[in-house]
Structures are given as C-alpha cells and as structure tokens.
Structure 1
Amino acid sequence: MTRTVTLETIDYGPVTFDEPPWCVGHHGQHEIYRTDIVHNSVRVKSGTSTETKGWLPMLTVHIAWAPFRELVPVISLVLDAEGDFQAEDGRRISEGLVTAAMRIEAVAAEAIRLRDGIV
C-alpha cells in the first residue's frame, strides 16, 4: 500500500508524492528544497567486539532515494571503523568486516530489486 505524503518545500511550496513502503518516513525533513526530499530505509549496522576496546562500530548502510534528484534508489554507506588495535583483535575485526561486507551486499541487492521496479 502506497502512502501519499505532502512536505512543505522552500522552492515549490507543498509537494505531494507517493512514499514507497520501505521508507521509514520524512521526520526531520523541514525547511528543505524539493531536491532534498529523500526516502530512507531502515539503517543496517555492523560491528564487532574487541578485547581491548570493546564494541567497534564498523558501518551503517541503508537505501536512499531522492526521487526529484535521482532516477533510482542508491545505497548510503558510512564506514565507522578507525583506530589502533592490539594484534589479538585482528581476527575479530576481520570477521566483523566480512559480516559488514555481507550486509552491504544484501542492502545493495535490495536497492537493485527496487530499482528494477522503477525503471
């Protein structure tokens, strides 16, 4: 079921558009231009636990689509892991990166599936 949403924009006034079912809403999108309207999916996170520094966030990835700026959905990716670690943490960090890569691939596959339904 597609919902219709209306947002007030600086350049076009009220803009009404269909919101895809995977969009989590447009909270916080105020005082924007029409091209700033973005559909965002749920954010998928990945990380690992290290012995010396505890939890290490590695990435956040989600599907994003600015329908007035982009033809199709894209993936929005933030890589978080940075720092110096004990050598003993290397295996856990490596395993965490493998998990992170699998999550990127899954989100990218879903974006491709959604894109194929649009174009």
Structure 2
Amino acid sequence: MPRTATVSVLVAKALEIDEPDWCAGHHDDRAQYKVDITHYGPEHNVAAHDYGLFKAMLAQSPYAERASRDVALYIEQQDITGSYTPDEAEQLADALVACADQLRALGRELAAILAGGAR
C-alpha cells in the first residue's frame, strides 16, 4: 500500500472584496492570506513647528483573526529621538500639543464614520 502525506499548499488566486468608501488603497496588493488584507485611508502627516511627529490613517483588517476587525485610526510615531537644547525642547513640547489637537480631529472623523455605519 502506498504511503501518503498531507502537505499544505498556498493557492494563489485573485479575491474580490468589498472596499469601504474611505479606503485609499492597500500597502500591498499581494496578501498571502485573507487575514493579511488591510484597508488604508489617506495618510496624514501630523506635524507642527517643523516637527513631523506622527503619521495617521484609517485602517481596517476585515478578516483579522487575532486583532480587531473594526475601523481604527492607525498611528505611527516618527523618529524624534535626539538631543535638544532648552529652546528646542520647548519647541518640541509645543509641537506635541499642536499634534494632539490634530490627532483629536482625526479621532472625531473616525467617530463620525463609525456613527454613520461605514464598512
């Protein structure tokens, strides 16, 4: 009798998915698995006083297995690591306050999308 083995294979085929109105595209249109698919909104550079502190965008992973499937505000911190003079530290602190206002505004936009039943 011949021996048999079970082997996992990756089947590559196009998958048509629903896309929310706010989606501006996908960082990679070649997801290996359905759980890797993420919708991204327009990227916002959250900056003030010549400091680019954050990038923020709406994001949703509708097929996630270990994370939320809800629309969320995805925020990346930019590199502000370094040595600052007292004046530069003051400017950075002011920039953080101004950026906080921008993040709050993006959070309110997300709340409006969620209240409107966006996909």
CA apart distance, 1:96 = 0.9
User: In the superposition, relative to structure 1, how do residues 27 and 91 fare at CA in structure 2: closer, same or farther (>3 Å)?
Assistant: closer
TM-score by length of 1: 0.73
Instruction: Please list every run of 5 or more consecutive structure 2 residues that lacks an aligned counterpart in the other structure.
Output: 1-9
CA apart distance, 1:22 = 1.2
Q: Which structure has the bigger radius of gyration?
A: 2
User: In the superposition, relative to structure 1, how do residues 65 and 12 fare at CA in structure 2: closer, same or farther (>3 Å)?
Assistant: farther
TM-score by length of 2: 0.73
Matches within 5 A, 1:1-119: 13-26=13-26, 28-49=28-49, 55-69=50-64, 70-80=68-78, 81-116=80-115, 117-118=117-118
User: In the superposition, relative to structure 1, how do residues 41 and 72 fare at CA in structure 2: closer, same or farther (>3 Å)?
Assistant: same
- 4+ residue segments displaced more than 3 Å: 10-13
Mapped contact 1:45–1:61 kept (Cα < 8 A): yes
Q: Percent same amino acid among aligned pairs?
A: 20
Deviations 1:27-68 (A, max 9, x none): 53214211111111111112344xxxxx43211111100111
Q: Amino acid of the residue matched to residue 82 of structure 1?
A: T
* Aligned equivalents of 2:11, 2:55: Cα separation in 1: 31
Which structure has the highest strand share of the two? 1
Q: How well do the aligned residues superpose, as a CA RMSD in angstroms?
A: 2.3
Deviations 1:87-114 (A, max 9, x none): 1112321221012111211222222222
Partner of 1:52: none
Structure 1 SS opposite 2:17: strand
Mapped contact 1:12–1:33 kept (Cα < 8 A): no
> Aligned pair count?
105
Q: Amino acid of the residue matched to residue 110 of structure 1?
A: E
